[in-house]
Amino acid sequence: VDTAQFLQESRMRICDAAKAAAHAKMKGLKKAAPELKVEAKLTADAVVPPISDARRDSLIARMPVTEPIISIGASTGGTEALREVLEELPANSPAILIVQHMPEKFTGAFARRLDTTCAITVKEAEDGDLVMAGRALIAPGNVHMQLVRNGSRYTVKIVEGPHVSRHRPSVDVLFRSTAQAAGRNALGMLLTGMGDDGARGLLEMRQMGSPTVAQDEESSVVFGMPKEAIQRGAAGRVLPLSRMATEIVNFGRNAPKPTGGMA
């Protein structure tokens, strides 16, 4: 699946480059063919409205303590990386949300396979699924997944919407929604992958008080997404894949405990 994803992304980049080159060549021709347009690369704004600095400061100040949440993004090389991380986790691990760039219909099989080898429960997310400790929800292919806080509970929202950073599901969409709904109650992790999806969202999580981690170059199959996050100042820490499971367990163990109902 990783090879197929890598080839799919590579074809997309080659097509973009070819279109741009063709457009430049056509400029010099008297009777040019209709202009070839490169598809716009949309940000998470197209799916999750951004918030102002003032609104962000207000959310940080009023953010209640909740159960811990882990949001993870991955692309090329991610299926094996996620398997390695999730199989090391104990059954009482914090709730986990995952966006793995993968075609439609592959995510369900991927989740079922992990569910048979992990102590935690792993399933393909459905709209309205409860986010709970001991369970990982994987975003379905060809739709976006958002984290939503409803009173004292977290649920996921599955939406269509346009491609963001040329992906659906998009890591940026998950990370932005996590930043706004959970703030410092969430840990953001960006693993191996091509491109820059997730880098902006991870920075937004960090700005909302979330601890953030990017996978290091040595253990990444493709050091694209993590590198972009590091360069943007989005990664609070840079760790090898072998330390990610421990990071999740420690975050859950050290997270403040809710003392009552949430607003």
Write out the H or E segment, with its range, that includes residue 227. Answer: helix 225-231
Superfamily for the 44-254 domain: Methylesterase CheB, C-terminal domain (3.40.50.180)
Backbone angles phi, psi at 64, to 5 degrees: -75, 165
pTM here is 0.85
Sheet holding 121-124, edge to edge: 121-124, 135-138, 95-100, 69-74, 186-190, 212-215, 237-239
pLDDT one-digit tens code per residue, 177-233: 999 999 999 999 999 999 999 999 999 999 999 999 999 999 999 999 999 999 999
Structural Rg of the chain based on CA atoms: 19
Among the options 163, 197, 210, 216, which is catalytic? 197
Q: Tokens in use for 30?
A: 């008297």
Torsion of CA 64, 184, 107, 226, to 10 degrees: 170
More confident residue, 83 or 105: 83
Where helices occur in 28-129 by DSSP H, the ranges are 53-62, 78-87, 106-117
Asked whether the beta carbons of 182 and 156 are under 8 A apart, the reply is: no
pLDDT one-digit tens code per residue, 77-94: 999 999 999 999 999 999
Q: Classify 193 as helix, strand or coil.
A: strand
Percent of the chain surpassing pLDDT 70: 84
Mean pLDDT, to the nearest integer, of 152-165? Answer: 95
170 is catalytic: no
User: In this model, does residue 10 exceed pLDDT 60?
Assistant: no
The confidence score (pLDDT) of residue 5 equals 58
Q: State the average pLDDT for the chain.
A: 90
Among the options 2, 71, 93, 101, which is catalytic? 101
Identify the DSSP state of 164: B
Mean pLDDT, to the nearest integer, of 163-172? Answer: 97
Q: Where are the domains of the chain?
A: 1-39, 44-254
pLDDT one-digit tens code per residue, 92-104: 999 999 999 999 9
197 is catalytic: yes
Asked whether the beta carbons of 9 and 76 are under 8 A apart, the reply is: yes
More confident residue, 12 or 201: 201
Mean pLDDT, to the nearest integer, of 242-255? Answer: 98
From 100, 66, 65, select the one nearest 81 (Cα to Cα). 100
In which band, very low, low, confident or very high, does the pLDDT at 2 lie, cut at 50, 70 and 90?
low
A 10 A CB-CB count for 39 gives 12
The confidence score (pLDDT) of residue 187 equals 99
User: In this model, does residue 34 exceed pLDDT 60?
Assistant: no
Among the options 2, 71, 75, 196, which is catalytic? 75
In terms of Cβ atoms closer than 10 Å to its own Cβ (0-12, 13-18, 19+), residue 65 is middle
pLDDT one-digit tens code per residue, 107-126: 999 999 999 999 999 999 99
